[in-house]
């Protein structure tokens, strides 16, 4: 599931923050702040995306770089927060 | 004020050329026009009559007929200089400040500029030496551009006059564009126009048959950080500041026409208006701009200040959509791409002043550079503290205090704020330490550059070039002074004074005057210890102390709210204009060749769907749109289907 989450987030980042620039080498662990991919408004856009697409209600305490500053961190955060689908 | 143009060299029909050059800048001087032709040189002038209404026509020659001047600006100490020259036996034929420059040049040659207190750019044709001398004021209030073509040297107050010269055409300079998308402004003498340069502030130039020589005649200088302070007593420093500021305002009230004032509601324009109101026997006229967005509007403070001073106040409302309507005109007058829309309301404001029948306004511009008012100075101080105290618990909370007026930051966690301001953090001895986050954030907009443009720029780094332009002793100055120098020497003339100051005012034939940029005040403030300017995180401390009796407490204690205007939001919505769609259409962007078509289309869609409020998206949107308009206006390229239809 994490791989599917990661690809969905990657697509969002490329479309929304890199404006379709697929040539950008978006490494899983690269900091989005240090690489100027995301600014202060971008964080809020990312939060809205996660809440909307994954049905997660994010608390203020969740919105920290430790959870959201790289593709790997975002994916892991979503995977941990997502409600497991049970039969 | 006014505008001028001219040449040195041999051309076929100098008069016709000067007529067309001066016609291109007629907005700078709607009152009179004049042309002077010599065998090897010519000068053209358009006049905004302010001093010596009846006898100050230009170009003006001296009694011998050998010296002729074309002059844009004002010499505020011309009365004192004229008295001194008269005492030496000089006889004056006019009441203008222009003639004072001619006499001074006759006495001292090019060194005359060192005695001038004013905002000026001028050209003197010296027939004795067969030499053209050009000069520009210390802080860069008045512009002066030049180019050479076919063996002739041309100059003018605005580039659009130079583009009248046959053979001189507009082509964008990729390096200048990179500088704008990094530093907000080109590094002078470079301009956005390839092969067209500007004379740097505080420089003079001589042009003769041997070539062109340029040199500075004044430099903004700060003391070494380990040098004993010149001022140790705050009370006496405040007293001296008040005296200097009062005199700077007094001599800027000199005019043969009424002088008004801009009143933004902030500290600086309120101080200037208060001083001016006390010096004029008439009721002072004040002018301001209001916004319909609470985030940008300061009308409550403007009205409070106007009421306290009893001024006759007029305001113009800048509503959503007004910025978009005037933006093509704004770019025609700024003559450069810009990454913020802030000049647009000032364009409207100068129109209001013109409608009110005034030609001259005082403004508070410059105080933030001179007395350390900008947030970037506080931010650098906090970042330095964090760099020295990485384990401090208060570190994240300090950043929240910095920008209380930015809604986007209010919602951020302290951890994110610390990360953002840490982003791009430089070693503490980095010469650009104070400006690194801004440079890095702005440079992120270059994501939209096309492959071709990136290939042309190769490894060019605007920040490196900026470092190469710093004075040798820069590294020995206090960090606050380093930051002040970067703002004062580069951003002030390159963006604030040109895009928001001279060009927006002169678009409507209005002269702005800047008491805070009086060079005596600038030199005094440079010598003040940093803690008298930025005390803790209180900006412009000494200025507040020196003027606290002038203002209502609510104004005097106001925390700096930088002048800003709505950005991409102005261009979207129901009133979206055809020209925006045209300029950002795939065809237009492809034709311009400067930006990635797909990326621009996505940005445009994003801004239309949900007006961007982040710095990068806003700056990129305004930067790209203004560059496309620049191309259309000056090269005819990048018009796009919507506009063409």
For B373-407, what is each residue's pLDDT tens digit? 999 999 999 888 888 877 777 766 777 777 766 66
Check pLDDT > 70 for residue B573.
Answer: no
Q: What is the dihedral of CA B306, B311, B316, B317, to 10 degrees?
A: 20
Q: Does B596 touch chain A (CB under 8 A)?
A: yes
**What's residue B466's pLDDT?**
98
Taking CA atoms, A56 is separated from A43, A60, B150, B411, in Å, by: 15, 13, 68, 18
Length of chain B: 645
- Spell out which residues of chain A touch residue B447, defining contact as CB-CB under 8 Å: 18-19, 21
Q: Does B410 touch chain A (CB under 8 A)?
A: no
**What's residue B644's pLDDT?**
39
Using CB atoms and an 8 Å cut-off, which of residues 243-282 of chain B contact chain A?
none
* Percentage of residues of chain B with pLDDT beyond 70: 95
Closest CA to A27 of A16, A44, A13: A13
**What's residue B575's pLDDT?**
59
Interval B167-186 mean pLDDT: 97
Q: Are the beta carbons of A39 and B614 separated by less than 8 Å?
A: yes
Higher pLDDT, B421 or B181: B181
For B432-491, what is each residue's pLDDT tens digit? 999 998 998 899 999 999 999 999 999 999 999 999 999 999 999 999 999 999 999 999
Check pLDDT > 50 for residue B257.
Answer: yes
Q: Are the beta carbons of B596 and A69 separated by less than 8 Å?
A: no
Check pLDDT > 60 for residue B65.
Answer: yes
- Spell out which residues of chain A touch residue B339, defining contact as CB-CB under 8 Å: none
Interval B66-76 mean pLDDT: 97
Check pLDDT > 70 for residue B412.
Answer: yes
- Residues B564 and B212: their CA atoms lie apart, in Å, by 40
- The domains found in chain A, sorted by start residue, are 1-18+30-82 (1.10.1200.10)
Q: CA-based diameter of chain A, in Å?
A: 42
Q: Sheet containing B312-318: which strands, arranged edge to edge?
A: B312-318, B285-291, B259-262, B360-362, B511-513
**What's residue B268's pLDDT?**
96
Closest CA to B629 of B413, B362, B416, B334: B334
Closest CA to B599 of B579, B580, B584, B614: B584
Interval B277-287 mean pLDDT: 95
- Spell out which residues of chain A touch residue B615, defining contact as CB-CB under 8 Å: 39-41
For B298-329, what is each residue's pLDDT tens digit? 999 999 999 999 999 999 999 878 999 999 99
* Percentage of residues of chain B with pLDDT beyond 90: 79
Residue B555: which pLDDT band, with cuts at 50, 70 and 90? confident
Q: Does A51 touch chain B (CB under 8 A)?
A: no
Residues with Cβ within 8 Å of B263's Cβ and at least 6 positions away in sequence, in order, are B269, B270, B273, B286, B287, B288, B302, B305, B306, B311, B313
Check pLDDT > 50 for residue B645.
Answer: no
- Spell out which residues of chain B touch residue A49, defining contact as CB-CB under 8 Å: none
* Average pLDDT over all residues of chain B: 92
- Asked if B342 and B565 count as a contact pair (C-beta separation under 8 A), the reply is yes
A19, A49, A61, best to mutate vs chain B, most B CBs in 10 Å? A19
Check pLDDT > 80 for residue B237.
Answer: yes
Residues of B catalogued as catalytic: 2
For B94-144, what is each residue's pLDDT tens digit? 999 999 999 999 999 999 999 999 999 999 999 999 999 999 999 999 999
**What's residue B611's pLDDT?**
66
**What's residue A26's pLDDT?**
87
Cα distance from A29 to chain B (closest Cα, Å)?
Answer: 16
Residue B28, Ramachandran bin (φ over 0: left; ψ between -120 and 50: alpha; else beta)? alpha
ipTM, interface predicted TM-score of the complex: 0.85
Taking CA atoms, B431 is separated from B235, B529, B578, in Å, by: 32, 20, 45
Q: Which residues of chain A have pLDDT under 70?
A: 1, 83-87
Q: Does B303 touch chain A (CB under 8 A)?
A: no
Residue B574: which pLDDT band, with cuts at 50, 70 and 90? low
Q: Does B415 touch chain A (CB under 8 A)?
A: yes
- Asked if B265 and B286 count as a contact pair (C-beta separation under 8 A), the reply is no
Q: Does B447 touch chain A (CB under 8 A)?
A: yes
Q: How many CB atoms lie within 10 A of CB B287?
A: 27
- Spell out which residues of chain A touch residue B444, defining contact as CB-CB under 8 Å: 36, 39
Q: Are the beta carbons of B419 and A66 separated by less than 8 Å?
A: no
Q: How many CB pairs under 8 A join A and B?
A: 70
Q: Does B11 touch chain A (CB under 8 A)?
A: no
Structure token pair of residue B78: 């011309």
Chain A, nearest residue to B603 by Cα: A19
Closest CA to B501 of B323, B341, B306, B350: B350
- Spell out which residues of chain A touch residue B612, defining contact as CB-CB under 8 Å: 41
Check pLDDT > 90 for residue B508.
Answer: yes
Of A36, A42, A65, the CB nearest to B419: A65
**What's residue B390's pLDDT?**
72
């Amino acid at each position: 599931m994490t791989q599917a989450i990661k690809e969905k987030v990657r697509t969002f980042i490329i479309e929304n923050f890199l404006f379709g620039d697929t040539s950008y080498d978006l490494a899983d662990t690269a900091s989005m702040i240090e690489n100027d991919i995301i600014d202060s408004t971008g964080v809020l856009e990312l939060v809205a995306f996660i809440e909307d697409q994954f049905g997660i209600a994010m608390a203020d305490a969740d919105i920290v770089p430790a959870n959201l500053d790289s593709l790997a961190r975002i994916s892991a955060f979503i995977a941990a927060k997502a409600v497991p689908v049970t039969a | 004020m006014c505008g001028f143009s001219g040449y040195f060299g041999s051309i076929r029909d100098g008069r016709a050329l000067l007529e067309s050059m001066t016609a291109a800048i007629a907005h700078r001087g709607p009152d009179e026009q004049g042309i002077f032709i010599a065998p090897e040189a010519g000068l053209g002038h358009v006049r905004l009559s302010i001093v010596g209404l009846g006898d100050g026509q230009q170009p003006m020659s001296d009694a011998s007929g050998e010296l002729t001047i074309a002059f844009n600006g004002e010499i505020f100490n011309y009365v004192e200089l004229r008295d001194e020259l008269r005492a030496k036996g000089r006889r004056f034929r006019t009441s203008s400040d222009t003639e004072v420059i001619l006499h001074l040049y006759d006495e001292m040659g090019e060194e005359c500029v060192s005695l001038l207190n004013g905002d000026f750019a001028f050209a003197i044709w010296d027939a004795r030496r067969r030499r053209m001398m050009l000069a520009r004021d210390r802080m860069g209030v008045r512009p002066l551009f030049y180019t050479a073509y076919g063996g002739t040297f041309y100059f003018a107050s605005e580039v659009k006059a130079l583009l009248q010269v046959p053979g001189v055409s507009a082509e964008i300079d990729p390096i200048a564009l990179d500088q704008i998308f990094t530093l907000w402004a080109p590094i002078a003498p470079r301009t956005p126009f390839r092969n067209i340069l500007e004379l740097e502030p505080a420089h003079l130039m001589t042009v003769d048959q041997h070539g062109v020589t340029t040199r500075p005649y004044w430099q903004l200088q700060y003391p070494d950080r380990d040098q004993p302070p010149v001022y140790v007593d705050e009370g006496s420093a405040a007293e001296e500041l008040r005296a200097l500021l009062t005199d700077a305002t007094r001599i800027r009230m000199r005019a043969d026409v009424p002088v008004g004032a801009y009143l933004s509601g902030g500290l600086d324009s309120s101080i200037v208006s208060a001083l001016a109101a006390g010096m004029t026997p008439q009721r002072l006229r004040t002018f301001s701009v209001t916004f319909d967005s609470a985030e940008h509007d300061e009308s409550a403070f403007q009205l409070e200040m106007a009421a306290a001073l009893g001024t006759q106040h007029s305001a113009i409302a800048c509503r959503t959509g007004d910025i978009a309507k005037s933006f093509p005109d704004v770019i025609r007058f700024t003559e450069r791409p810009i990454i913020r829309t802030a000049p647009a309301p000032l364009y409207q404001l100068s129109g209001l002043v013109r409608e009110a029948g005034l030609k001259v306004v005082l403004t508070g511009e410059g105080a933030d550079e001179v007395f350390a008012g900008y947030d970037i100075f506080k931010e650098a101080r906090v970042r330095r503290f964090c760099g020295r105290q990485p384990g401090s618990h208060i570190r994240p909370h300090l950043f929240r205090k910095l920008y209380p007026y930015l809604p986007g930051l209010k919602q951020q966690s302290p951890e994110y704020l610390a990360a953002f301001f840490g982003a791009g953090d430089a070693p503490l001895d980095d010469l650009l330490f104070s400006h690194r986050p801004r440079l890095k954030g702005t440079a992120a907009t270059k994501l939209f550059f096309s492959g071709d443009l990136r290939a042309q720029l190769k490894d060019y780094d605007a920040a490196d070039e900026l470092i190469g332009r710093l004075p040798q002793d820069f590294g020995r100055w206090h960090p606050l002074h380093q930051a002040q120098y970067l703002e004062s020497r580069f951003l002030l003339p390159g963006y604030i004074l040109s895009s928001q100051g001279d060009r927006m005012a002169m678009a409507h034939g209005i002269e702005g005057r800047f008491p805070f940029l009086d060079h005596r005040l600038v030199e005094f403030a440079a010598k003040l210890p940093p803690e008298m300017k930025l005390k803790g995180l209180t900006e412009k401390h000494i200025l507040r102390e020196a003027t606290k009796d002038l203002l209502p407490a609510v104004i005097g204690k106001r925390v700096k709210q930088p002048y800003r205007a709505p950005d991409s939001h102005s261009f979207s919505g129901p009133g979206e204009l055809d020209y925006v769609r045209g300029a950002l259409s795939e065809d237009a962007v492809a034709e311009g060749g400067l930006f990635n078509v797909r990326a621009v289309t996505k940005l445009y869609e994003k801004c239309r769907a949900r007006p961007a409020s982040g710095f990068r998206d806003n700056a990129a949107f305004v930067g790209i749109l203004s560059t496309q308009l620049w191309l259309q206006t000056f090269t005819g390229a990048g018009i796009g289907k919507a506009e063409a239809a």
